[in-house]
Chain A
Amino acid sequence: MMSISWRRVRTMVRKELRDLRRNRFILGTMAVAPVVFVAMPMVQIFTFNAASPSRGLSARIGLSLLYMLIIPSTIPSALAAYAIVGERDQGTLEALLITPIRREELLLGKALAVLLPTLVIAYAVFGVFFTAVAIFAAPAVASAVFETSHVLVPLLFTPLLAGWSIWAGIAISTRSSDVRVAQQLATFASLPPLVLAALMSFGVIKPSVGLALGLAAALLAIDVQGWRLAAAGLDRERLIAGGRR
């Protein structure tokens, strides 16, 4: 059984969040992106004619939620892709790797430091959306939005989708030698779960509670395995000696 020092993990998280907080460009990007992603669903919902058939309403709500699920998928991917190759790029990796921190702890600290702001932003966006619907939407529309499955999906899938993007991004980061390449690859790697969600939203795959729970369980298993795989891919020698091997 692998033993984890939570103190070292907390130390990494604290350092990452401090560093993130002082990078105005990243903070600005993280603040602006959710505004863009919440505006479209609002328009979708508030321009809906309540007299329309309920099937159309449900599809539009599904599309809106899908749109907002892009936030936990895309926001963490660039940050996660920077995790290791970024340290290498700014010359801080060697000083970090010569401490006693284990690679599992290092990566978990990095992952949690990306997950926390992602969850705050994503849940804040959902909160704003559901609050606006509750206050301003037509009663029939609001009632449809607040169906259990519509509320459950973002709650459940937000951390799991973020987890996918984070571990894919970090795994790419441990193997990459260029920040730009890592971030591009990580963006692509964050898409597969969204494609699945899109197929469900457009009715290609028939959504059901059972399917959603099954997918959530599968994503959770992939996220846990992603941590192990990314840690196995972090090779101190290759990262330090670069392309000399």
Chain B
Amino acid sequence: MTGTEPIGAHALVVEHLTKRFGPRVAFDDVSFTVGYGEVFGFLGPNGAGKTTTVRTLGTLIAPTSGTAIVAGLPLTPANGEAIRRKISIMPEVPGLYTRLTVAENLELVAGLYELADPAQRIAEALTAVSLADRADDTCGSLSKGLRQRVAIARALLNEPTVLFLDEPTAGLDPVAAREVHELIDDLRGRGVTIFLTTHRLEEAERLCDRVAILNTTLRMIGRPQELRAQLFSQTLAVRLRAPLAEPDRTLADLPAVDGWQATGDAGYQLTVSDPDVAAPGVAAPGVARALVAAGADVLSIAESRHSLEDVYLELVDEDVEGQR
């Protein structure tokens, strides 16, 4: 192996990667893989090491220990330039030259990547972010949202195998953030591998195939629904017209219900943990039938759905508690 051939079926393979700045640990023993074409979310609180991880995988910072393969190339100093040719990073700060026009900013990057047909690539990238008509505007005259779009266009110029987006919607208003989401959706449609760091949990839940939660160490990784299932038991919220006369007996006999607690006069939260009927949607009809048979008037049965935010807060709170 010369160190420059693509390796494996993953766009990113990270194994036991650690970065320390003197005594301070930026991230520790981080391992994960990202498949080609996947949108991978990287979540974590401020100072968790997300940006440092991106910079490390982007060859700007050398890891203290561990290994990684980025876009098929081992992460080594010798491969730095070759890796940078195959990836793009959109930093949290767009880093545009405000006195230069949009097109001039992109010309700079096209020249540094030595693209074969820079004018064509610039036109395509600007079209992709719907900014073809703003090519001659100076970047200083653009709104923050438009600057983010220019930065995304710049990151697309070299047609990267892996695109790192570091907090792409930070500081944007909801409309501008939605436009960036649509762009990311569009890139996913084109098969671009995206590594997305974000604070916005609804953004990660909406856009990402899988997410990892980092708080110096990797706390969890998986599909959002898998993370919810790992952390929270499935529950059903039941509302009846009147309280049950003998709730212990009635609820204990319900199919697939592992436990219960009262949530009001005539409200009950049922824990569903039988793996054979794991999903609340599967358990709910049986529960409804059993309650009706027991003489109860059922007003509603609903899943208690936990969001990715619940997962995130649960993990981060655990870390805070652990530090006390």
B48 to chain A, nearest CB (A): 15
Known pairs A5-B114, A98-B58, A240-B55; A15 contacts B21 (CB<8 A):
no
Contact B95 A91 (CB under 8 A): yes
B49 to chain A, nearest CB (A): 12
The contact of B114 among A8, A14, A18, A244, by CB within 8 Å, is A8
Selecting from B67-75, B85-93, B196-204, B210-218, the interface stretch reads B85-93
A108 to chain B, nearest CB (A): 13
Selecting from A99-107, A134-142, A188-196, A210-218, the interface stretch reads A99-107
Is B9 interfacial (CB 8 A cutoff)?
Answer: no
Contact A11 B112 (CB under 8 A): yes
Selecting from B97-105, B252-260, B266-274, B302-310, the interface stretch reads B97-105
Is B276 interfacial (CB 8 A cutoff)?
Answer: no
Contact A92 B55 (CB under 8 A): no
Contact A98 B60 (CB under 8 A): yes
A209 to chain B, nearest CB (A): 43
Q: Which residues of A contact B108 (CB under 8 A)?
A: 11-12, 14-15
Chain A CB within 10 Å — which of B58, B91, B94, B100 has the most? B91
Contact B55 A95 (CB under 8 A): no
Contact A101 B24 (CB under 8 A): no
Is B318 interfacial (CB 8 A cutoff)?
Answer: no
Contact B95 A100 (CB under 8 A): no
Is B61 interfacial (CB 8 A cutoff)?
Answer: yes
Is B275 interfacial (CB 8 A cutoff)?
Answer: no
Contact B60 A97 (CB under 8 A): yes
Contact B112 A100 (CB under 8 A): yes
Chain A CB within 10 Å — which of B94, B97, B100 has the most? B97
Contact A236 B100 (CB under 8 A): no
Contact A100 B113 (CB under 8 A): yes
Is B22 interfacial (CB 8 A cutoff)?
Answer: yes
Q: Which residues of B contact A97 (CB under 8 A)?
A: 60
Contact A11 B111 (CB under 8 A): yes
Known pairs A8-B111, A22-B99, A240-B61; A15 contacts B104 (CB<8 A):
yes
The contact of A19 among B24, B81, B97, by CB within 8 Å, is B97
Task: Give Cα distance in the complex from A91 to B100, angstroms.
Answer: 15
Is A10 interfacial (CB 8 A cutoff)?
Answer: yes
Task: Give Cα distance in the complex from A3 to B23, angstroms.
Answer: 38
Q: Which residues of A contact B55 (CB under 8 A)?
A: 94, 240-241
Closest A residue by C-beta to B56: A237
Is A7 interfacial (CB 8 A cutoff)?
Answer: yes
How many interface residues does chain A have, given as a range?
20 to 34
Task: Give Cα distance in the complex from A93 to B59, angstroms.
Answer: 14
Contact with B along A14-27 (1 / 0, CB 8 A): 11001100110000
Contact A91 B114 (CB under 8 A): no
Closest B residue by C-beta to A15: B108
A151 to chain B, nearest CB (A): 38
Is B154 interfacial (CB 8 A cutoff)?
Answer: yes
Contact B21 A245 (CB under 8 A): yes
A15 to chain B, nearest CB (A): 5
Task: Give Cα distance in the complex from A14 to B109, angstroms.
Answer: 12
Q: Which residues of B contact A5 (CB under 8 A)?
A: 114
Task: Give Cα distance in the complex from A5 to B85, angstroms.
Answer: 14
Task: Give Cα distance in the complex from A127 to B168, angstroms.
Answer: 53
Contact A10 B112 (CB under 8 A): no
Q: Which residues of B contact A244 (CB under 8 A)?
A: 21-22, 24
Q: Which residues of A contact B24 (CB under 8 A)?
A: 244
The contact of A91 among B60, B61, B62, B93, by CB within 8 Å, is B93
Contact with B along A94-125 (1 / 0, CB 8 A): 11111111100000000000000000000000
Contact B84 A99 (CB under 8 A): yes
A242 to chain B, nearest CB (A): 10
The contact of A93 among B88, B95, B114, B154, by CB within 8 Å, is B95
Task: Give Cα distance in the complex from A91 to B97, angstroms.
Answer: 9
Q: Which residues of A contact B112 (CB under 8 A)?
A: 8, 11-12, 96, 99-101
Contact B97 A100 (CB under 8 A): no
Contact B61 A92 (CB under 8 A): no
Known pairs A94-B60, A240-B55; A99 contacts B113 (CB<8 A):
yes
Q: Which residues of B contact A90 (CB under 8 A)?
A: 97-98
Task: Give Cα distance in the complex from A92 to B151, angstroms.
Answer: 11
Contact B95 A15 (CB under 8 A): no
The contact of B88 among A12, A22, A94, A98, by CB within 8 Å, is A98
Chain B CB within 10 Å — which of A18, A94, A102, A245 has the most? A94
Q: Which residues of A contact B88 (CB under 8 A)?
A: 98
Q: Which residues of A contact B111 (CB under 8 A)?
A: 7-8, 10-11, 14
12 example contacts (A-B, Cβ-Cβ < 8 A) are as follows: A7-B111, A11-B111, A11-B112, A14-B108, A15-B97, A22-B100, A92-B95, A95-B91, A98-B84, A237-B60, A241-B21, A245-B22
Q: Given known contacts A10-B111, A15-B107, what 19 new A-B pairs fall within 8 Å (CB)? A: A8-B114, A12-B108, A18-B104, A92-B97, A94-B55, A94-B60, A94-B89, A94-B91, A94-B93, A95-B96, A96-B95, A98-B88, A99-B84, A101-B112, A236-B61, A237-B61, A237-B62, A240-B61, A244-B22
